[in-house]
């Protein structure tokens, strides 16, 4: 059975990641661990190569709206969009200040059913022409529990980097409150090096060379 992330972090750092006790900042160890894992996953997603990033996406359907009614189109979650389709055609991006030209049939920039465009304005995504059945692929940042053993819609080969990054944050916290600075500094340096090696491997799409935490 795979270890939960809390047990992995505890094994690496000594931080009581599964404790219900309140920390010095008023949050429980569990709550802080879950937040650190969430922050770590977001950081890792932001550096994923495109071949792995697609595993972190969801498809969002919507109907394109007339100019001026963008808020009835689709409000984005993360704003990291990989592709947009209107019917059978992929929409191309335009700046939001070009939307009126894309909506003007007398303009050479006029959008058509076979050459649709999309723009983002105030965190809303809209496609022109209007009244089309559309969908877009958006990256999602996961919500992670302290004791999860895996992350849904996330590449398996990058999960260990999330644990390492959360462990780095845990060690930085311990350094701030504990007296044994030398011990925690040494562990922090080693885990930081493991994380940076993993990031380099990730960017070169060779995660097989990244250090892996053994799971029981």
pLDDT at 1: 58
- In this prediction, residues 78-98 reach a mean pLDDT of 95
Query: Helices (H) and strands (E) in the chain — how many of each?
Result: 6, 8
Q: Is 69's pLDDT higher than 60? A: yes
Q: Could you give the CA distance from residue 117 to residue 46 in angstroms, rounded to a whole number? A: 25
From start to end of 72-180, where are the E strands?
Answer: 74-75, 81-86, 89-90, 92-93, 117-121, 124-128, 133-139
Q: Could you give the CA distance from residue 39 to residue 42 in angstroms, rounded to a whole number? A: 5
Hey, what are 19's tokens?
Answer: 């404790």
Specify burial of residue 98 (Cβ count, 10 A radius: 0-12, 13-18, 19+).
middle
Of residues 22 and 149, more confidence is placed in 149
Tell if the pTM clears 0.75, that is, is over it.
yes
Question: Using 50, 70 and 90 to split pLDDT, how confident is the model at 210?
Answer: very low
Hey, what are 133's tokens?
Answer: 């059945």
Q: Could you give the CA distance from residue 37 to residue 34 in angstroms, rounded to a whole number? A: 5
pLDDT at 24: 81
Question: Using 50, 70 and 90 to split pLDDT, how confident is the model at 2?
Answer: confident
Predicted confidence (pLDDT) per residue in 175-206, tens digit: 988 767 888 999 999 999 999 999 998 888 65
Mean pLDDT of the chain: 91
pLDDT at 133: 96
Q: Where are the domains of the chain?
A: 5-52+143-209, 65-131
Q: Is 114's pLDDT higher than 90? A: yes
Predicted confidence (pLDDT) per residue in 138-176, tens digit: 999 999 999 999 999 999 999 999 999 999 999 999 998
Would you tell me how many other CB atoms lie within 10 Å of the CB of residue 24? 8
CB 114 within 8 A of CB 176: no
């Amino acid at each position: 059975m795979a270890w939960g992330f809390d047990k992995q972090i505890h094994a690496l750092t000594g931080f009581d990641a599964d404790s219900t006790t309140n920390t010095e900042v008023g949050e429980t160890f569990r709550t802080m661990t879950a937040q650190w894992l969430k922050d770590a996953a977001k950081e890792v997603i932001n550096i994923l190569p495109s071949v792995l990033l697609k595993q972190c996406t969801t498809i969002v359907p919507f109907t394109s709206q007339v100019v001026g009614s963008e808020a009835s189109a689709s409000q984005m979650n993360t704003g990291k969009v990989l592709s947009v389709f209107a019917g059978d055609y992929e929409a191309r991006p335009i700046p939001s200040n070009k939307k009126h030209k894309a909506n003007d049939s007398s303009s050479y920039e006029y959008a058509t059913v076979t050459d649709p465009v999309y723009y983002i304005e105030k965190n809303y995504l809209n496609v022109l022409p209007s009244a089309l059945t559309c969908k877009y692929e958006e990256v999602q940042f996961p919500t992670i529990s302290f004791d999860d053993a895996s992350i849904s819609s996330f590449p398996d080969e990058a999960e260990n980097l999330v644990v390492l990054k959360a462990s780095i944050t845990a060690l930085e916290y311990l350094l701030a409150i504990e007296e044994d600075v030398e011990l925690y500094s040494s562990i922090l340096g080693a885990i930081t090096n493991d994380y940076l090696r993993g990031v380099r491997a990730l960017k070169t799409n060779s995660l097989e060379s990244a250090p892996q935490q053994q799971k029981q």
